Amino acid sequence: MIDQYKIGFIGAGNMAEALCKGMLSAAGPLDIAVSDLNTIRLDVFRNQYGVEGISKDNKKVVEFADVIILAVKPQIIPEILKDVKDLITGDKLIVSIAAGVTTETIESLIYDGVRVVRVMPNTPALVGLGASGICKGAHATSDDIDLVETMMNTIGSCVVVGEDRMDAITGLSGSGPAYVYTFIDALADAGVNMGLTRVNATKLAAQTVMGAAQMVLETGIHPMQLKDNVTTPAGTTICALHELDRGGFKSTVMNAVEAATKKAAKLGKVK
């Protein structure tokens, strides 16, 4: 499906690179163009991924592409769209991965009727294991959503939600890697405290988190059932879980996601 379209990236940052790499790995050679003022980043796309359509001019990418991916910082979206909006014809799809920028905002900056899909990816996309939320704008079609799902599945997995749930996506999976890194660090610190080397403790902690996550995804068994499967009567695990409960572990994580969700909603209202 992806190979039927010309793909244009405005912005050549890490997330754009991850998506470019994922799509090329999944679909083979593609018609891709990239624009950015940073020539070093453009060289990465040219030399590592064979992208020929390299430019500092966003207009050239917009003219070329059927699907235009906005992979820039949210604060410069208005400036970029003001410069290129006259070139965005009705047959072009806008895909935004700019954090916090609503589809309504993008539509208002271009013209009424433009097809927009918004994506909230996360940083594990850089290793092909991202978790992304997708929502459609007022004029995007089901085919548009199908295309963007296909694209995002090349760098992990994704879910389609209403835009009123995108702040929750930000709070859960967008910021979530930081929570998990903190947990891995805590596990590793505990291992060091109990006599393990830092290298071994970190390796074991990270692999434990990755393995447990894979168990959830592959088995479809509820996490609490998997937890019970590990927890033998009067064993070490139930002692540890008791300490986590006493420290308010689960409620603290829930509060963290809620705080991030509320912050995302607040930032999204800032024009």
CATH of the domain at 217: 1.10.3730.10
Position 253 scores a pLDDT of 98
Same domain, 75 and 207: no
Picking from 129, 162, 195, the residue at the C-terminal end of a domain is 162
Is 52 found in the same domain as 128? yes
Same domain, 181 and 157: no
- What pLDDT digit, counting tens, does each position of 57-115 carry? 999 999 999 999 999 999 999 999 999 999 999 999 999 999 889 999 999 999 989 99
**Residue 69 resides in a domain:** yes
Q: Is residue 170 included in any domain, yes or no?
A: no
pTM for this model (two decimals): 0.91
Find how far residue 133's CA is from the centre of its chain: 7
Does residue 180 contact residue 213 with C-beta atoms inside 8 Å?
Answer: no
Is residue 48 domain-shared with residue 152, that is, in the same domain? yes
pLDDT one-digit tens code per residue, 205-216:
999 999 999 999
Domain final residue pick, 110, 131, 162: 162
Pair 135, 163: CB distance under 8 Å = yes
Residues 121 and 195 in one domain: no
Rounded CA-CA distance 224/43 in Å is 47
Q: Are 69 and 46 in contact (CB under 8 A)?
A: no
- Classify residue 251 as exposed, middle or buried by CB count within 10 Å of its CB (0-12, 13-18, 19+): exposed
Q: How many CB atoms neighbour CB 239 within 10 A?
A: 10
pLDDT of residue 271: 53
Above 80 in pLDDT, residue 265?
yes
pLDDT of residue 270: 52
DSSP letter for 124, please.
G
Same domain, 139 and 208: no
Convert the pLDDT of each residue in 184-195 to its tens digit: 999 999 999 999
As for how many domains the chain has, the answer is 2
* 135 and 157 inside one domain: yes
The verdict on 157 and 254 lying in the same domain is no
Q: Give yes or no: residues 23 and 102 share one domain.
A: yes
Domain of residue 211, residue span: 176-268
Residue 1: pLDDT band (50, 70, 90) is: confident
197 lies in the same domain as 157: no
Q: What integer is the mean pLDDT of 171-177?
A: 97
> Strands 67-70, 93-96: parallel, antiparallel or unpaired by DSSP?
parallel
